[in-house]
Structure 1
Amino acid sequence: MAEAALAVSSIEIVPSGKALGADVIGVDIKRDLSAEELGQVRQAWAEHLVLRFRGNGEVPLQKLADFSRLFGDLDRAPVASQTMGKDFAWQHPEITVISNVVVDGTPVGGLGSYEAVWHSDMTYNATPPKGSALYAVEIPPSGGDTHFANMYLAYETLPTNLKAQVEHLHCVHDASRNSAGELRMGFADITDPRHTVGAVHPVVRTHPVTGKRCLFLGRRRNAYLPGQPLEESEALLDALWAHATRPEFVWAQQWQLGDVILWDNRCTMHRRDSFDPSTRRLMYRTQITGEAVI
C-alpha cells in the first residue's frame, strides 16, 4: 500500500503503510457528514479495512451511535455487558462497555485486562456483525494495543495446495463460550470439536461490498470442518491460522485518548494485548448489523 497521504476534498486519508489501516483526517465524528464526505469515508473503509479517527476529544455516546449508524443498523449490546448503572442500558442500548474497571466489587464492563487472542466477532451467529466502532475514554500507560489482520491478503497468499483444499469447505464456529472464554449458560463444555454447536460458514467468503474473497475463520477454539476426519480438520485449521496471522498481514493500533477505530469484521481478525490490571481501561463499542455469509 502507498504510504503517501491521499487528499480528497477536506478529508485526508493517510494509509498506515502496513497491510491494512488508515488515519482519516478532517472528520469530526461529533458532527454530521455530507453525502460526499460519507462516500469518501466508506470508500476508504472498503480499501483500508480499518480506519482511525484521532483527536476527537470527548464524544457523547449518542454521537458515537449516530456515527456508527452511518454504516448500517446497530445491534443491541448484550445486557450483561452494561453494568454502568441501572439507566445505562436503557439510555444507550447500542453501546457495549469494554473495561477492566471494578466499582464496589462489580465490573463496569467486559473483557478485563487479559490478552484476547485472534478472532472475528460473533461468527457463531448466522449473521455475524459487519463491523464495529471502538472509542477510547481511558487507556493504560502501556499495553492494551489492538492488532488487526488482513484476511484478503491471507487468502490471496495461501499456498496453492492449501487454497485448493479449503476453497469449498465450511467451518462450524463454536457458540458455547463468550469472548472471555466463559461457558455460556445452557451449553455443554465441548472437548471434541466434532460436537461443536454454532453457525456454519464458508472458510472462504465473498465480501458483499468489494466482491473480493477472503478467509473467514472466526475463532480457533473448537472450530471444525464438517465432513473431515478430526485429525485432518485440526491440521487444516492449524495451517490456516498460522498463515492468516503472519506479521506481514498485521497492523497494530496503539491507543490514544479520544481515538475511534472503525473495523470491518467481515475481512479482518483482531486481538488485544494484555495490560496491567491495576491500571484503568475504559472503551465504548458499537456493533454494526451484518448479513448472511456467502
Structure 2
Amino acid sequence: MSELWIQPTGAALAADVHGVDLSQPVSDEVFARIADAWGKHLVLRFSGQKLDDRMLMTFSARFGELDRVPVAAASLDRADSDVIDEAREWVAVIASVKKDGKAVGSLGNYELVWHTDMSYNALPPRASLLYALEVPADGGNTGFLNMYAAYETLSPELKRAIEGKTCIHDSSRNSAGELRKGFQRTIDVRHTPGAVHPLVRLHPVTGRKALFLGRRPGAYIHGLEVEESEALLDAIWAHATQEKFAWYQKWRAGDLVMWDNRCVMHRRDAFDESLRRLMHRTQIVGENVLAG
C-alpha cells in the first residue's frame, strides 16, 4: 500500500499510477485510492503491466458491469484473434494486425477523429480501458481532452447558447469516418441516425458539468436551423479541441490506460500500415445521460 503513488502529468488531465501490479488482486483500500485518482485526473496510466484477458476483465469489473463488445467488432472473424474464448464477449481487439489476410481487430492504422466512445447509444459506456500488447515505435499516439475544463472556460455567450440544448450523435459512421454496414449516407443532418444527448452533461459521481459532444460529423442541435446548428457546433468544437485541454499518450507495450468516457474525448494518430499494433479493450456499462 505504501508503494502506491499517483503522478499527475502536469497537463489538463491524466496521471500515472505507480506501485501496483494489476495481475494480482487489488485490495479495497488500494482500489479506493485508484478510484479517487481517476475521479481527479479523468485518465489513468498503469505502465509495465503483464495482463491476460481474465486479469484485464477482473480489474475492469471493479469499476462496474462489463459492457459487451460492440456489434461491429464482434462481427470480425474472432477465430483469428488472440482473445481467449471466455473473453470474446467482453474484450474488443483494436489492431492493425492481420492473419491469413484477415483483420483480427478493428480500426486499422488510420487517424481517428476526436470522439466519445459509443455516444450514439442511449447508454454510452462510462469508461474504457485499453491495454497495449504490441505497439509501433512511432505513431498511433492517443490524445485525450478534458471536457470539464472545456465547458468551464466557454464564453458566457456560448454557455447561454447551448443551455438546455440536445444534439444528435451519429451512429452511421465510425471514428475514422467510415460508413458502417447497413447504413446509408445522410444528406440532411436533421435526420442523422443515433441517440440524442444533452450538449452539457452532469457527471453522476462528481456533479460537475462537462461538454458532451460525441463526434463532429453528422451532429445536429435540435430546434435550430441547420446553418445555425453548424455554426454553433463549429464554435464549440473549436474551443473544446484546443491543445490546452489535451494530453497525449505515447504507447509502450504493457501500458493500460483508462478514461472516463463521460467527461473525456479522445482521438488517435495514424501510423505506418506495415507496423503491428495490437490492443485489447474493455468497457464499462454506462448510466442515463443527465443534462447539466
TM-score range normalised by the length of the shorter chain: over 0.9
SS state of the match for residue 286, structure 1? strand
* One-letter amino acid of the counterpart of residue 284, structure 1: H
How big is the shift at 1:198? 1.0
Q: 1:83-127: per-residue Cα shift (whole Å, max 9, x none)?
A: 353894742121000001111110010000000010000101000
Unaligned runs of 5+ in 2: none
After TM superposition, the structure 1 = structure 2 runs for residues 255-274 of structure 1, keeping only pairs within 5 Å, are 255-274=251-270
The separation in 1 between residues aligned to 2:224 and 2:181, in whole angstroms, is 29
SS state of the match for residue 277, structure 1? coil
How big is the shift at 1:27? 1.2
Q: What residue is the counterpart of 1:5 in the other structure?
A: none
Q: Percent identity?
A: 55
Change (3 A) 1:51 1:82: farther
The one of 129, 133, 146 equivalent to 1:137 is 133
SS state of the match for residue 162, structure 1? helix
The separation in 2 between residues aligned to 1:218 and 1:106, in whole angstroms, is 30
The answer to whether structure 1 residue 253 and structure 2 residue 249 are counterparts is yes
The one of 118, 124, 135 equivalent to 1:122 is 118
SS state of the match for residue 255, structure 1? coil
The one of 10, 15, 35 equivalent to 2:28 is 35
- Structure 1 contact 170–225 (Cα < 8 Å) conserved: yes
- Structure 1 contact 149–245 (Cα < 8 Å) conserved: yes
The one of 22, 26, 32 equivalent to 2:15 is 22
- Structure 2 contact 112–267 (Cα < 8 Å) conserved: yes
How big is the shift at 1:35? 1.0
SS state of the match for residue 62, structure 1? helix
Q: What residue is the counterpart of 1:4 in the other structure?
A: none
How big is the shift at 1:170? 0.4
- Structure 1 contact 81–97 (Cα < 8 Å) conserved: no
The one of 153, 177, 183 equivalent to 1:187 is 183
Q: What residue is the counterpart of 2:221 in the other structure?
A: 225
The separation in 2 between residues aligned to 1:225 and 1:128, in whole angstroms, is 19
Change (3 A) 1:11 1:105: same
The answer to whether structure 1 residue 11 and structure 2 residue 4 are counterparts is yes
Change (3 A) 1:279 1:192: same
- Structure 1 contact 82–96 (Cα < 8 Å) conserved: no
Q: 1:147-169: per-residue Cα shift (whole Å, max 9, x none)?
A: 00000000000011001110211
- Structure 1 contact 52–262 (Cα < 8 Å) conserved: yes
The separation in 2 between residues aligned to 1:184 and 1:271, in whole angstroms, is 19
Q: What residue is the counterpart of 1:290 in the other structure?
A: 286
After the TM superposition, list the runs of 4 or more consecutive aligned residues in structure 1 that deviate by more than 4 angstroms.
86-89
Unaligned runs of 5+ in 1: 1-7
Q: 1:133-158: per-residue Cα shift (whole Å, max 9, x none)?
A: 10001001100000000000000000
Report the number of matched residues: 286
* One-letter amino acid of the counterpart of residue 111, structure 1: L
The answer to whether structure 1 residue 97 and structure 2 residue 90 are counterparts is no
Change (3 A) 1:84 1:239: farther
The answer to whether structure 1 residue 80 and structure 2 residue 72 are counterparts is no
How big is the shift at 1:31? 1.0
How big is the shift at 1:178? 2.8
Q: 1:208-243: per-residue Cα shift (whole Å, max 9, x none)?
A: 110000000000111000110000000000111110
The answer to whether structure 1 residue 243 and structure 2 residue 243 are counterparts is no
The separation in 2 between residues aligned to 1:183 and 1:70, in whole angstroms, is 34
- Structure 1 contact 75–288 (Cα < 8 Å) conserved: yes
* One-letter amino acid of the counterpart of residue 61, structure 1: D
- TM score, norm. by length of structure 2: 0.94
The answer to whether structure 1 residue 213 and structure 2 residue 209 are counterparts is yes
The separation in 2 between residues aligned to 1:213 and 1:84, in whole angstroms, is 42
- Structure 2 contact 81–105 (Cα < 8 Å) conserved: no
* One-letter amino acid of the counterpart of residue 60, structure 1: D
Change (3 A) 1:84 1:180: farther
How big is the shift at 1:187? 2.6
How big is the shift at 1:82? 5.7
The separation in 2 between residues aligned to 1:50 and 1:116, in whole angstroms, is 18
Q: 1:161-190: per-residue Cα shift (whole Å, max 9, x none)?
A: 001110211001111123343323333310
The one of 65, 84, 95 equivalent to 2:57 is 65
Q: What residue is the counterpart of 2:46 in the other structure?
A: 53
- Structure 1 contact 83–107 (Cα < 8 Å) conserved: no
Q: What residue is the counterpart of 1:3 in the other structure?
A: none
After TM superposition, the structure 1 = structure 2 runs for residues 136-215 of structure 1, keeping only pairs within 5 Å, are 136-215=132-211
* One-letter amino acid of the counterpart of residue 91, structure 1: E
Aligned-residue CA RMSD in angstroms? 1.5
